[in-house]
Each structure stands twice: as C-alpha cells, then as structure tokens.
Amino acid sequence: MQVCEYDILVVGAGAAGMAVALACRRRNLRAAVVEREEEPGGILLQCIHNGFGLQRFGEELTGPEYAERYLREVEGTEIDVFCGTTAVRLTGGDAFRSVVTYSAKYGVREFRVGAVILAVGCRERNRGNIGIPGTRPAGIFTAGLAQRLTNIDGYIPGSRVVIVGSGDIGLIMARRMTWLGAKVLGVVEIMPTCSGLLRNVVQCLEDFDIPLYLSHVVTRIEGAGRVRAVEVAPWRNGQADSRNAFRLECDTLLLSVGLIPEHELARDAGVGISPDTRGPFVDANLMTNIPGVFACGNGLHVHDVVDYVSEESERCGRAAADFVTGITDTVKQIPLHAGANVRYVLPGTIAAGRSNLLSLRSMVECEAARCTLHRGEVELATKTFRHVRPAEMIRWNISAEMTDDMSREETQPLDITIQCVADDE
C-alpha cells in the first residue's frame, strides 16, 4: 500500500471541498483532495439552473458555472486532486490522521496528514426511508437521480409525473420536467408548509400552475411493470384520511423527501453524530470530537444556499490550518443547545471572546421571529428576523463582546430559542 504524506486531506471535491482546500493552500499548506466521482464539482455539475453565486460572486450563475469558478482556482494551485478515489477508513491519532482510499487508477493508498476535513456532501432519502405501500414497479426515482438523468445523461424519466416532497430539488425538477414536455400532476407534501425555498415555489410551481398538495401523502403506488397511478390522501391528526383520497394516473414518481449528510466514514471512525442534523457534532472551530478531524458543507448539515457552503468551508479551512501549524486555540468554548422552536443549531459550542456565526433551523413559520440566547432564565442576546421558515437557514453573528460576557459564568450551557413576534408588537 502506497503511503502519501500531506498537511491536509480533504474528502470530497464539491463546493465545500474546493473552498476548504483553497483556504488551506492560502496558508501554504500541502493539501490533497480525494473525490469518488470521475471529476470534481459534486452535485453542482447536474444543477444546470441558475440562482447560484449571488452572495458569493455578486452574479447569478448555474451550478456548473459556480463549480468552474472554484475549479479554475484549484487548478492554478499546487493542490493535488485525486478523482475516482473513495475514502474507506479514517483513523485518528496523536501524531497524524490516517485515511485509506481505494481507486482503480491509483490503487490502495494511505494518506497520513496533520488534519482531515470531511466535505463529503449528502445523499437523498428514498422510498424505503418513508415507507410508501404498494407494488414495486419501474418509474420511481429520487429527484436528484432524475435531475442527473435529464441534465447529464439526456434521458427523460417519464411523461406524467407526480412528485413526493416539496424540497428544492423536487420543485426544480417539477419545472424541468414541464420544460421537457412532461405533465406534472402535482407535488405532494406531508407538512402544512413547503419544504423548499419560497422563490422555488413561485418560479417552479406557481409560474407553471402545478398543484401543491400540502398536508397530503401518497398512500399507495399502483402498477406492475411500470407505475400506473398513485393514491393521494389528506394527512390529518397524524394519519391519512382515506375517505377523501384521490387517484392520480401517472407513469413516474419522483421522491424529494429530504437529504442526509454522508456520515458513514465519520461514524466508523468514532466521530459523534448528531441525531438532528445526521452530520458530525462540531465545536466552534468546526472540529469534531476527534482532534484534527473537521467537517463542513452538506456533510455537516444540509444547507439551502451553496454560497453559505463556501463561506462555512473557508472558515473550516482556516481553523484546520491553525491546528496543523500549531496555533493553539485556548479560548473557552461554551456548550450551545437547541431550545424551543429550534430544530438544530451549529456549531455545538460558542467560542468566548470572539465572533461566532451560528446556523440554525426554525421549526415554525412566522412573519417575524425573535431569536434569543439564554443561560437558564437569563437572556444574554436577542435578535429579530423577518419571515422565518423551516426551509430557510437562519444565520446569526454573535459579536465578540457578547461572547466575552457569556463566558463569565462557569459551566452552565447556553440555549437558543425562537419565538414568533405578534404583528402588533
């Protein structure tokens, strides 16, 4: 087995992986990136719609154009990118971190590095995750697979389509299938609110008069060789209302029912995994419980905007570079927990005496919401946000002055909560 030595190894060459590798290279560290696909770019390569880069580059780009911006930068550096290479084992250690990879081109390799950064992305939940009853015919795809078939491979999955779940990929595929000449009969969403960004609801459904069935579920799939129809029923009080069910005749069912961070490599190495995000637990430096192992991007938690992935990954790269170069972080880290109406908050700690950018997801939708940091019954910081939705990430920058005050208490953790603000307040 060939042994390779670098300062930093990045696992994944999507938006997160390229951004974090560049951040490390700016500190003159020897960085390598391993990517299991045959070319870098990740999921961006099949996202041919625009809407990327408005915050990062100040212009609207397609997914491949956004990836190309970073890829050109990577190619202009001494970063080594190994495509067609899968990381299969991660081991922590005092002197170095070890990652074993398999590749048809490069064979079996062991990378011995000062730090490992997991930028592994996420995968789609499928029919087995949501348990739709019925037969098992052809014509059932995840929305991301259908996107790849249409945008990269040049195949049209079907002509009469029903989409389960209102995630962003599903909404975008509703529009894409319509453009390709298919009839999209509707998007079926179990929740009372849409799971995707509001702009995608407008641009992908409303602009094309595609029905959105909120608080509905698919209760049965019909068909032998191919999907023939699905049964849809209202979802009330935690169960399907079969008396008011209706049937949609279709030949294709697309599933857009959520994304899960790829956490197997981290979990097998002993990294703690959050049951809320399904990604690693990380501290204020985006480092896991294994020293020298960091995580960022959709492999940490699922983002709604790729620009935020790039920004977070650059922060992660700087923190990893500090670790490798021996810049010791001696600041106190205060545990942070998700409180009322908060699904999750990252990172899991706040670093005292410096600014901290928090990313959190609301469990409620309201026109105005007040986010509050508590220590017990004491409010330490508060900020009001306009129109919070579960589908959209909330970002809150906590100033260094605030965190310095928070660190004066010894051990009690902090909680972050969300409260809807009445219109007349």
Q: What is the 3-state secondary structure (H, E, C) of the chain?
A: CEEEEEEEEEECCCHHHHHHHHHHHCCCCCEEEEECCCCCCHHHHHCCCEEECCCCCCCCEEHHHHHHHHHHHHHCCCCEEEECEEEEEEECCCCCEEEEEEECCCCCEEEEEEEEEECCCEEECCHHHHCCCECCCECEEEHHHHHHHHHHHCCCCCCEEEEECCCHHHHHHHHHHHHCCCEEEEEEECCCCCCCCHHHHHHHHHHHCCCEEECEEEEEEEECCEEEEEEEEEEECCEECHHHCEEEECCEEEECCCEEECCHHHHHCCCCECCCCCCECCCCCCECCCCCEEECHHHCCCCCCHHHHHHHHHHHHHHHHHHHCCCCCCCCEEEEEECCCEEEEECCEEECCCCEEEEEEECCCEEEEEEEEEECCEEEEEEEEEEECCCCCEEEEECHHHHHHHCCCCCCCEEEEEEECCCCC
Count Cβ atoms within 10 A of the Cβ of residue 246 and give its class: 0-12 exposed, 13-18 middle, 19 or more buried: exposed
Model's pTM, two decimal places?
0.92
**Whole-number CA gyration radius for the chain:** 23
CA distance 44 to 370: 34
What confidence score (pLDDT) does residue 213 get?
97
What confidence score (pLDDT) does residue 408 get?
61
CA-wise closest residue to 268 among 258, 257, 280: 280
Cα 139 off chain centre by: 26
What confidence score (pLDDT) does residue 424 get?
44
Residues of the chain with pLDDT below 70 are: 404-411, 423-425
Mind listing the domains of the chain with CATH numbers? 2-123+260-324 (3.50.50.60), 126-257 (3.50.50.60), 333-420 (no CATH)
Report the DSSP pairing between strands 293-295 and 109-118: parallel
What confidence score (pLDDT) does residue 373 get?
92
What confidence score (pLDDT) does residue 331 get?
80
What confidence score (pLDDT) does residue 345 get?
96
| Tokens encoding 284 | 């204020």
What confidence score (pLDDT) does residue 198 get?
86
CA distance 330 to 106: 40
